[in-house]
Chain A
C-alpha cells in the first residue's frame, strides 16, 4: 500500500511536470516579464524585455511568447523552453495589442498612434503586411478558422472585421464608446467588446452582424474580457473599481463582482487548473481566482505596473 501511494505521488508529480502551465505577465514599469507557474502560484523566471511592455501572445506549438514594447518600438520574442529573449523585432511606431492566429502562422500587432495593423509571418518576421483599420487600434483577436481578424478601433468606437488573406476590411461593427479589449467565444460565434467610456460590454452575434449588439453594464473603466470555455460566462476587469465582473451570458447580467488588486488590466484563463489570472497594474501583482468558487485564492507579487494585455497563459 505504501508503495502504491508513493507511486501515485510520483506519477502525479510527473504529470505536473508534463502539464506545467505558465503565465507571462508584462511589467510596464520595470521592462520585464514575470513567468508564473500557475499550479505552484509562484514566479519561476523574470525576463528583461524592451521598454514598457504591454501586449502578450503565446504559442504552445512554436514555443514562443511575443511581447509588444510600446515605448521601445519593438516586439520581444521569448523562447518558452529557455525563458529568454531570442529575437527583437523592430516596429516603427507604438505597438500595443498583439495576437496570434490559431494556426500559429501570423502575428498581428496594433500600432496605436499610426492606426496600422501589422501582419507578421511567424516563420519569417521580415515578411510584414499592413492595413489601416480604424483610429487607435487596441485589442485584437482572430477567428478559430483563421479567416477573420477583429480589431477594436478605440477612437472609432468600432470593431473592424478584416479578411486575413487579403487584409481587406469586411465589416465595421459599431460598439460602445472606446472599445479596448475584445474576445471571441470559443466557437467563434460571438464577439465581446469592452467599452471603456461606457462601462459596458457589447456582445456581437458574428453569424448576423447586421443585428446591433446588445450591451451589459459592468464596473468603472473596464478594460479586458474573456469567455469561459463553456461560453456561459464572461470575466471583465474594471480598472477603476479594482474588480472583476462575472457575467452570466444566459441572463445577460453581472452575477458576481470580485475585488482584486488596484487597476486590473489583462486577464487569461488556465483551463487546466480552472483558474483565472488577473494582472493588477496598480499593485504590481497577479490575482489568482478559482473559477468554481469565484474567489481570489492567492495574490502573487510581480514586477512594476503589470498589464498582460492579451492571451498570456501557455498550457
Chain B
C-alpha cells in the first residue's frame, strides 16, 4: 500500500513538473550608478562572476556545454542555483538568463539585466526584470512557502540587495 502511494505521488509529481501555473509574477527594479554604461555593462555581463557584486552569493562556477553557458551560484546561506545564459547582447547591453534548478522558491524563472545611459551625464541605469511562477502547481489551498508572495519576496530580496551592492562595488572601484 505504501509503495502504491509512493508511486501515485511520484506520478503526480512527474506530470506536474511539465506544467506551470497560470499566473506569472514579475519583479522589476532599477538603480542609477555613477559610472559610464560601458563600465557597468562589463560587470553585469560577466556571467561567471556574480559573486563579485551580489552580497548573497559566495561563489560562481561557470560551465560550457557545447554552445551553451551555465553557472552554479553557491549562496552564503547554503544551497545552490543553477542558471543558463540565454544571451549577452553588447549592442543593447542586455543580459538574459534563466534558472534551470536550485533552491529559489520559483518556477519557470527567466530574467534580464539591462544597462542604459543616464539619467545624468556619466551615469548608468540598471534595470533588472524577472518573470516567474510560484512553485505550487495545483488548485488552492496553496501551502505556505510555495505561494506567489514567497516567490515575489525572494526575488525582490535578490534584486534589491544585488543592485544596491552592484552600485557600491562599481562606484568604489577606480
Contacts and interface: CB of A to CB of B under 8 A. Distances in A.
Q: Is the interface of B mostly helix, strand, loop or mixed?
A: loop
Contact of A262 (B18, B129, B140): B129
A52 B129 CA distance: 20
Nearest to B140: A73
Interface residues of A, number: 23
Interface string B125-168: 00001010000011110000000000000000000000000000
Q: How large is the interface on B (under 10, 10 to 19, 20 to 34, 35 or more residues)?
A: 10 to 19
Given A113-B137, A282-B129, A54 B19 contact: no
Given A54-B22, A96-B22, A240-B110, A282 B137 contact: no
A135 B15 CA distance: 9
Nearest to A111: B139
Nearest to A178: B18
B26 A305 contact: yes
Contacts of A305: 24, 26
Contacts of A28: 23-24
A71 interface: yes
B63 to A, nearest CB: 23
Interface string A119-158: 0000000000000000110000000000000000011000
Q: Main SS of chain A's interface residues? A: loop
Nearest to B87: A220
Contacts of B26: 29, 281-282, 305
Nearest to A221: B110
Given A28-B23, A52-B23, A281-B24, A155 B18 contact: yes
Contacts of B22: 54, 70, 94, 96, 112
A114 interface: yes
A99 B116 CA distance: 42
Nearest to B23: A52
12 contacts: A29-B26, A54-B22, A54-B23, A94-B139, A112-B21, A113-B137, A135-B15, A154-B19, A155-B19, A262-B129, A281-B24, A305-B26
Given A70-B22, A154-B19, 15 more contacts: A28-B23, A52-B23, A54-B22, A70-B23, A71-B23, A93-B139, A94-B22, A94-B139, A96-B22, A113-B137, A113-B139, A240-B110, A263-B131, A281-B26, A305-B26
